[in-house]
Structures are given as structure tokens and as C-alpha cells.
Amino acid sequence: MRCSSMVDDGGRSFARILASNVFTVFNGVVGGCFILLLALGAWQDALFGFFVIANTAIGVVQEFLAKRTLARLAVLNSPLAVVLRNGSEIECAVEDVVVGDTLILRPGDQLAADAALIDAHGIEVDQSLLTGEAEPVSPKVGQEMLSGSVVVAGSGMARATRVGADSYAARITFEARRFSLVSSELRTSIGRIIRWLSLALIPIMVIVVNGQAQAAGGWAVVFSTGAWREAGITSVASIIAMVPAGLVFMTSVALAVGAVRLARSRVLVRELAAVEGLARVDMLCIDKTGTLTEGTMSLDRVELVDHPADGWQGALAWLATDPAANATARALAGEFGAALAGGEQPDVVVPFSSRHKWSGAHFETGPSTGSWILGGADVVLAGSGPGAAVRRRADALASTGERILVLAHTLVPIPHAEPHAPRLPRGLRPVAVIALGDRIRGDAAEILRYFAEQGVEVCVLSGDDPGTVAAVARAVGLPASGARVDARGLPSDPRRLADVLRTQRVFGRVTPEQKKAVVLALQSLGHTVAMIGDGINDTLALKHADLGIAMGSGTAAARSVAQIVLLDGSFARLPHVVAEGRQVIANVERLAKLSLSKTVYAIVLALTFGLLLWPFPFLPRQLSVVDGLTIGLPALVLALLPNSRPSRRGFLRRALRFCVPSGFVVAGAVILVAVAATVGARASSLQVHTLAVITLTLSALWVLVVLARPFTRATAAVVAGAYAGLVIVLAVPFSRDFLALDVPAPGLIAMAVGTSAAASIVLELIHRAALRRAGSSPDGAAPPGGTFAPDGIRSRLRLSESAESAPASSRGAREERP
């Protein structure tokens, strides 16, 4: 029986995507007004319908492309299964595994199907992705293991019992690839604003419609004379102005553009809100291997101790070529593989595990008679009197940044124990000290300096020797990296652990459970934590971090729980991801303030004219043009400009602190001019409309001026273009006729301009007061000592771009691994 394909996008069907983007509160309000105007024959006033169509199209296209991309990447990154067929081991795609296949299981493999264990050699299985329990289990022969489990130690074989859609892996893969919404403060805040407006819209609509009907002579007159049509159009104008259509639209544009840019940089983001999370991160937890170093070990030298026991080369060769050997031990295979004694097999084998951090084998007879243990000096020779000098030598070598292993020997057999808790034999004597080199990445120091400039602290969590880890940390310039901290001495109590983490940032001998505990402790200290990992031992920390980032070359388990995947495994991508995230989020926050100011003054105008029973001084088409000049067209540019301001929590509070008083000031200026023109100057309705358009545009443009700072050539051109647009709209006869405007007397124009100037001064004062309260300087930059460093970002982006274009050989073997 051939298994059904497991390569499914795990997302919604196209029909559900379309329905979820069409049937929204935003589209209901704006679309309803759009249809009403078309029914009234006022197509000129229905220009805002563009936002409904464009926003819906962007949402549908973005999610559909993400759905298709995730399905494609699921195929490209799908792990291969190793099966035994006709006596030979072959690799095949997961979807090609069939019931009855014999699966070959080694450390790092994720079970591709539900399978029954038929042979085991110290095998340990991590089921944390299924059960949430971190403790590995040691299944017995005949016991069924669920797909999605991960082999963390030992080896074995299992017969597939359920495959494809029938297996547990299908559900795991389905959920891992699902295009789901990540927690986003920005999106939550915008959604909250839309809900507030939705609740307030009905009573405001009643007030507005009644006000316009009364202003036209009362309900009886409206229906008898046909004036209800004009009253309906002006009512729609006041209602539609309250909906932040530009905010929803431009947020979609900014997020869509950010998604495209990141995809071009080989960064898979399951949902762009994850980039917002990275923009807010202030603590980055990393492993040493593959991030600070290239992740490929090579043998530097072997130092023999006094009179080594016979057969050490053969024993070392067996430990290095054992199918269950870890990557560090396998680095010795090239040098010692030829020394493997023909036919010599150990009687007892203890595979390497990150839990006990050593591997061993016992030979009853032959050249390598006795027990041979390979591991770190502090583990293998702990409490061993004869090994004290060797431990000191190993510590000295580790302080240079090398990874040090010790091969020890004893004639005492390895004690029989549970596979997940083996014990070292007595009488171990050191035989050889083995130094392995792991080259430091050439760009590691530069990348860490970038994060330091951006206010992001780095915490190194490595399973290697503390001295080695500390040496690498010093080499790349990590602050406070002089002290070596052995994680085995860390307290298990979360509060005491948090106290240690207030000062320490570099740890060696960290277990998978401790990585998770460190992440949780850092979160308890108020940090927003991102975890970068690629191995099985990182999955628990990736799951509990605020943001999980996996290397594309890492295990399927790590990729399945991460929100961001660096597909080429390049640590140099992170500065680009952070910069892109901060650009998107900072620009959207700026656009939100611009748009919400408009929502506030629209509500104030609607309620004022509705309650006072005055004619509303705008037509929908006029407000569409004002929105285009003050929000729409500038926002298209501002949303895509470089912006490296660090993202902070409290977006909604900051936005309302500026938008509410600004909206009242702009609305007050328009009301003052409309009343003065109507009552004092007795201007015509067309002239009142024109004066209201001038006052609203000039006042709202000053909101744009203060939010576009600090000025660059691009932002200055945007502002100048917006002011020029108002002049063109008023000067061109065709636009005046289309918008139903009339040029007022010079004195009335001067009144509108003067009132707008006074409103601009008040807006400037409000802006500066808000900045002082937030601790920023008037030009919008971060205060001294902050993390606003656009030059640093640009230089780091050049670094990551050069890494992308560099030959594969210069980027390290880690990017070359399949």
C-alpha cells in the first residue's frame, strides 16, 4: 500500500481565504456605503470603494501566495526517510514510505510513520513535540512509536504500521505548515480600533442621518422634495470619513512588501506578525555551533597520556564510526576509520546522549579489551584522581576555543543500567586528549555588534565545554563573556536562575531542559526572547520562546516549531530580518497615527454637525481627495521608506495620546471656518465646501509634517508634493467642477489659511509634548544612548547581501549541507 502524499499546505482553501478577506467589518461598512452611493447614482462620490477592492485583493493574494510557498517549501525541506528494502538502505521521501517498510533510525531522525520497534541499541526517543514531556523515553522492542517523535540517542529499526494521512506525522506536519495568525500587538490594536468604531458607528450614523435630514428642512420636506438623496450622500461622507480605510489598506501593503523582501532573502516567515515580534525582541538566545562558529568540526591534534592502553586507536575508530555516533565523534572517522579492527565488535554500547554527554563501548576480547569512554574531560574524569592533570590540560586547551574530548579506559565493564541513565565504570584512566577545531564565522563579530547597537542582548546557550564557549564568546566580542559558567551548577529554582541571568550571558554544558528554563527565566525578567536553534536539543526552547528561529539546515523538529526559518542556515540573515521588521512596524505605526488622527477629527465633525443640525461641509468625493493628499499618496511612500527605530510596546496608548488631541484641533479648525463662512460671510454651499477642504487639508498636512520627521529627501518630497497637490486641485477647472468646488473670495481664503496655520502651531506643540513624554527628541530620533542607528543597519544589510552573493565555499559548510 502506497502512502498518500503528506505534502499539503495545511492552510485554508482558496474559497475560505476569499470569504475571510471579503466578509470583514471593514468591508461591511465601507462596502455598504459604496453600494449605497452607486444605488443613488453618485458614482463620483464612491472613489473610496478602491480601498475595499485593493485591501481585499492584497489580503487574498498574500495569504494564497503564502499557502503556495509553504506547500512548495514543505516539499523542498521535507526530511528524507532511510528504509531497508531488499537488504539495502535507501533514502526516500517521507511520502514514499509504505506500510511494512523497515525504517532505519539514528540520532536526529524524526519518525516518518507510526512504527513498531523491531531492533534497538540504546535508543532514546523524544516525544516532547507530541506530549510536551521533555524526558526522553526508551521504547522496548515491539512497542509502537508515533510519527513525529525524534531519536535523540542510540539507533534501531522499526516497521511502519501507519503512513500518510493515517499517521500522527500527517497531523503534526499539517499543523506546523498551517498559515496561522501569530500574536501581534499592532494587528490586535488595529482590530480593537475597528471594533470600537463598529460599536460606535450605529448611534453616530443615527445622529448624522437625522442631522442632515433636519438641516435639509426636516424629514417631511426631505421625502417630499427629493432632498433625501443629497442628505444621504452627505451622511455617507461623514460616516465613511470615520473608517480608517487608509490604515487597513496601507498596513496590508507594508506587510505584503515586507513578506516579498524577506522571501527574496531566503527567509521563510510563517506570518509576517512574527517579524513584528523580532522587531520587539531585546534578548537573543543562540547556540555556539552554527551561529558563532561554522558548525563543522575537524581534528586538530591528539595528545597521548603517558603509556596509553593497547587498542586505543581501534576503540576510538569504532566510537567514531558507530552509526549512532554524534557529529563531534564522527569528525574523528576520517583520521581513525582505517584503524578499525576487522570483525571486532563491542559487547556493550552506550550511544552518545546530550543528557549524559559521553559515549562508550566495552570489548570482552580482542586488541581493544576493556571499556572505552569518549566525552568531555569534566564528565569522563569527574572524581578521577589519576585524571586531575589531564583535566587541567583539557581546560587549558578549551580556553583557546577548541572542543576537547578525552578518551579513557578501564578493564571494568560498563554497569548495566537503564539506557537513559547509564553510569560510568570505575577506574577510568585517561588515554588521549583530543582537540577539535570549530572555526569562528567571519561575520559573527560584526553581526553581534549590530545587535548591540540595536539594544538586543545575546545569551549563548551551548552544550560544549564552558571554557570553549567562553573563549569563542570572547573572540567575537560578546560583553561580560569573561566568566565561564557551567550550566550543571545552575539552580533549578526559576527565581534563583533568573538572578543568575541578570549578570551572566554565556553558558556551557547546557541541557535541552535548561535551555527551556533559561528562556522562561529571561521572560520572567521582562525580556522579549528569541531563540535560534537547529537541533533536537533546541526544540523545547524554540517552542517556549516569544519567537522561535530555526536554521533551514537543522532538524525537521526544529523547523516545525519555529515561526521563522532561515532557509540557507545563514546567521548573517538576521540583521536583514530585524531591519525589515523594524521598517515595517515603525512605518505602520507612523501611518496608524496619521490615519487615526483622521478618524478622530471625522468623528468630531460628524457628531458636531449632526447634533447641531448643520449641513455637513463635505461631499464623499471631496473627502476622498483630502484623504489622498494627506494620507493615501504620502502613505504609499512612507510605508516603504527605511526606518530603523526600535519597536516598543504600548502602540495603541502612544497613538491615542497623539491622535485624540490632534483630531480635536483639526476638527475645531474646520468647524470654526465653516461657521464663520456660513454665518458671518454668508458664503454659498460650494464656497463653504471649498473653504472646509482647504482648512482640513492644510491642518491635516501638518500632522503629516510632524510624523514624517526626521526629514530626508524622500519625506520632504512627499510633503511638498502633498501641498502642491492641493494647489493643483484648486487651480484646475476640471478638478474643481468634478469635486463641486468654487474659488471663494481672497479674504475667505486668507481666513482658512490663517486658521490652518494656527491649528498647525497647536499640533506642533502637541507633538513636542508627546515626544517629551516618550523621551524622544523633537526630530523624532531616539534619545542619546538609544538604538536608532540607520547607518549601522545599512552596513549590516550590505554584509548580509554580500553573504548572499558570495560563493558557497566562502559561506561555510553549514550552508552546503542538504
Side chain identity at 560, as an amino acid letter? S
Distances (CA, A) of 404 to 351, 376, 384, 400, 435: 18, 6, 17, 10, 5
DSSP code for 546: S
CB 227 within 8 A of CB 250: no
- Say how far apart CA 452 and CA 454 lie, in whole Å: 5
Whether 644 contacts 581, CB under 8 Å: no
b/e per residue 471-482 (b: at least 16 CB within 10 A): bbbebbebeebe
Q: Cis omega before residue 744 (within 30°)? A: no
Given the residues 109, 287, 534, 627, the one annotated as active site: 287
d(CA 684, CA 429): 104
Closest CA to 530 of 278, 273, 270: 278
How many residues does the structure list for the chain?
Answer: 818
CA-based radius of gyration for the chain = 34
What DSSP character marks residue 110?
A: B
CA distance 529 to 527: 6
The letter for the amino acid at 289 is: T
- The verdict on whether 287 is a catalytic residue reads yes
Q: Give the Cα separation of 706 and 780 in Å (integer).
A: 9
Question: What's the Cα-to-Cα distance from 627 to each of 165, 190, 596, 671, 696, rounded to whole Å?
Answer: 51, 19, 12, 18, 10
Give the CA distances from residue 302 to residues 14, 318, 432, 654, in Å, rounded to whole numbers and listed in that order.
61, 16, 7, 61
Q: Which burial class, exposed, middle or buried, applies to 799 when counting CB atoms under 10 A from its CB (0-12, 13-18, 19+)? A: middle
Distance CA 182, CA 274 (A): 6
DSSP summary character for residue 305: -
Residue with cell 505534502: 7
- Which triple of cell numbers denotes residue 23? 466578509
Phi first, then psi, for residue 180 (nearest 5°) are: -110, 160
Distance CA 493, CA 517 (A): 9
Q: How far is CA 556 from the centre of its chain?
A: 18
3-state helix, strand, coil split of the chain in percent (to 5) is 55, 15, 30
Q: Residue 572: CA atoms inside 13 Å, Cβ hemisphere, count? A: 27
In degrees, rounded to 5, the angle at the alpha carbon of residue 192 between the alpha carbons of residues 186 and 196 is 150
Assess whether the previous peptide bond of 136 is cis (omega < 30° from 0).
no
| Region for 145 from its dihedrals, namely left if φ exceeds 0, alpha if ψ lies in -120 to 50, beta otherwise | beta
**Catalytic sites, residue numbers:** 287
